[in-house]
Amino acid sequence: MEKLSTRHLLGIKELSKADIELIFSTAGNFKEVINRPIKKVPSLRDITIANLFFENSTRTKLSFELAEKRLSADVINFSASASSVTKGETLIDTVNNILAMKVDMVVMRHPNPGAHAFLSKHIDATIVNAGDGAHEHPTQALLDAFSMRHELGDLTGKKVVIVGDILHSRVALSNIYCLQKLGAKVMVCGPPTLIPKYISSLGVQVSYKLDEALEWCDAAMMLRIQLERQGGDEHSGVKFFPSLREYHNLYGLTMKRLDQLKTVPIILHPGPINRGVEISSEVADSEHSIILNQVENGVAVRMAVLYLLASSNN
Amino acid sequence: MKNNRIILDQIQLELAIQRLCYQLIENHNDFSNSVILGLQPRGVILAKRIHTELVKITSNESIPLGSLDTTFFRDDFRRRDTPIIANKTQIDFIIENKKVILIDDVLYTGRTIRAGLDAMLAYGRPDLVELLVLVDRRYGRHLPIEPNYIGTTIDSVSSERVEAKWVETDGVDEIILKENTK
């Protein structure tokens, strides 16, 4: 019978196409479950999951927690700001202390790329990556591709453009891996300062003109400008482009831009949205946007990942 | 492959399904307050057959038919080497206050039916639940579960396995008793 080829979910890079297909088919079943009158199933009732968030998160944390609770797992939450990390404890010590309380799985977000891979070599529990720095955010990429597939069907040969802050985005990298494994063509678009220099070595196309990219694609994923990773904020000045207003004029998705297109692509956004920066309110709330479907699918996809990892590791 | 014994051949299977349908009609009259739920995966095929036959006999095409998957409610999760892969649940009607007829092909330990009951209750509180099985393997129950309608009853040992084959999936209609090779 089918099972995942991996013990942990560290990144999309380690997954095979068959793994992704298995996660999607299971997520389809869970999507049906979360639309029932009683949305809970007892599958993970003997499992304890620790959510370790060493970096701020709202929707990913809520989505994981809801997925865990819908599967009847016991859940403990940990956020770095209120912990001994501020007292100088190392990552391995922190995690081992939590595992000593008989925890089976760890869902972790960490600012350092590779923190999960490092941890997986030192501890026994199953690790799920909920974002590591600007490296990977696998469950986000899975739910994005799952949502796109729901709208567009098979993704083989489909064209997807990722627009915005590619340089600081873990969502972009995971999505590139995931979409390419599913046979889609990927383009990145944004100001040259926010596109990594050697990104074309991943086999993606690069465009610096949004209108061109929109004309080309079947789906457009808008990314948030990550001011917190750019060493600046709205008031103290942003290093990578002159102003948010200029960014919006050149790379913001507006209804005017969409109206010029022959066929309008579906619009995705991993959230949180900066309305009026990378996307206008009008577009974000239009029928082309599947942003809220992404959020719904996020719970189903995370349930599938947790279910499949938990059942492979008995 | 040797020691395979046919429990029901195609004609016997057809007769059993017809008899079960008449028994259902005796208890459910015009099915105005009854629904049929087939358990995934193999019970669904039987449920469809019974539904088709009931429609034929009663000329009532509005008998609700759904399928119920028990995967996420099973008690052997993490006690097997590989994940149990789920099937589709499709219930496009309300089961609250209805008489539910659960249908599965083979009843042995009763664990699938237990999971089915739990899965079903996520959709509401039925008035009454009945169980219809094509083959009742006696003396193998792990749980206090008994069917209301039985196609045929057999006595078997745990090393044997009952396999229901259907034209839809296996190209032939028959129920066989096999020596388990595992």
**Rounded to an integer, what is the distance from CA A180 to the centroid of its chain?**
15
Same domain, A79 and A226: no
Same domain, A183 and A217: yes
Closest CA to A142 of A179, A170, A189: A179
- A188 by DSSP, 3-state: which? strand
Q: Which residues of chain A have pLDDT under 50?
A: none
Contact A41 B79 (CB under 8 A): no
Cβ–Cβ pairs < 8 A, chains A and B: 66
SS3 of B21-58: the string is HHHHHHHHCCCCCEEEEEECCHHHHHHHHHHHHHHHHH
Least CA distance to A37: which residue of chain B? B123
pLDDT at A78: 86
Neighbours of A138 (CB within 10 A): 31
Neighbours of A61 (CB within 10 A): 17
Which of B80, B86, B122 is nearest residue A26 as measured by Cβ atoms?
B86
- With respect to residue A3, please indicate whether it lies within any of the assigned structural domains: no
pLDDT at A87: 72
Same domain, A105 and A19: yes
pLDDT at B83: 78
CA dihedral (A103, A104, A109, A111) positive or negative: positive
Contact B83 A308 (CB under 8 A): yes
The total number of structural domains that make up chain A: 2
Same domain, A304 and A243: no
Fold of B5-179: Rossmann fold (3.40.50)
Contact A29 B83 (CB under 8 A): no
Contact A2 B82 (CB under 8 A): yes
pLDDT at B132: 97
- With respect to residue A87, please indicate whether it lies within any of the assigned structural domains: yes
- With respect to residue A304, please indicate whether it lies within any of the assigned structural domains: yes
Same domain, A288 and A148: yes
Neighbours of B19 (CB within 10 A): 13
Same domain, A146 and A279: yes
Contact call for residues B137 and B124 (beta carbons, < 8 A): no
Neighbours of A28 (CB within 10 A): 18
Same domain, A32 and A157: no
pLDDT at B160: 87
Contact B77 A311 (CB under 8 A): yes
Q: Is A86 on the interface with B (CB under 8 A)?
A: no
The span from the CA of A135 to the CA of A174, in Å, is: 8
CA dihedral (A100, A105, A108, A113) positive or negative: positive
Least CA distance to B115: which residue of chain A? A42
Cα dihedral angle (A26, B64, A39, B121), rounded to 10 degrees? -120
Distance from CA of A43 to the nearest CA of B (A): 5
Instruction: Quote the pTM value.
Output: 0.85
Q: Which residues of chain B have pLDDT under 70?
A: 1-2, 181-182
Domain ranges of chain B: 5-179
Distance from CA of A2 to the nearest CA of B (A): 7
Same domain, A77 and A149: no
Contact call for residues A306 and A49 (beta carbons, < 8 A): yes
Host domain of residue A25: 12-136+295-312
Distance from CA of B94 to the nearest CA of A (A): 10
The span from the CA of A123 to the CA of A126, in Å, is: 8
The span from the CA of A155 to the CA of B73, in Å, is: 32
Same domain, A155 and A131: no
- With respect to residue A6, please indicate whether it lies within any of the assigned structural domains: no
H and E: helices and strands count for chain B: 4, 8
Residues in B closer than 8 angstroms to A26, CB to CB, are: 83, 85-86
Same domain, A39 and A123: yes
The span from the CA of B162 to the CA of B6, in Å, is: 10
Same domain, A132 and A205: no
Please report, for the domain that includes residue A251, its CATH number. 3.40.50.1370
Same domain, A154 and A284: yes
- With respect to residue A5, please indicate whether it lies within any of the assigned structural domains: no
**Rounded to an integer, what is the distance from CA B26 to the centroid of its chain?**
19
Distance from CA of A181 to the nearest CA of B (A): 22
3-state helix, strand, coil in chain A (%, to 5): 45, 15, 40
* Backbone φ, ψ for residue B77 (5° rounding): -60, 135
Element spanning A119, H or E: helix A115-120
pLDDT at A57: 85
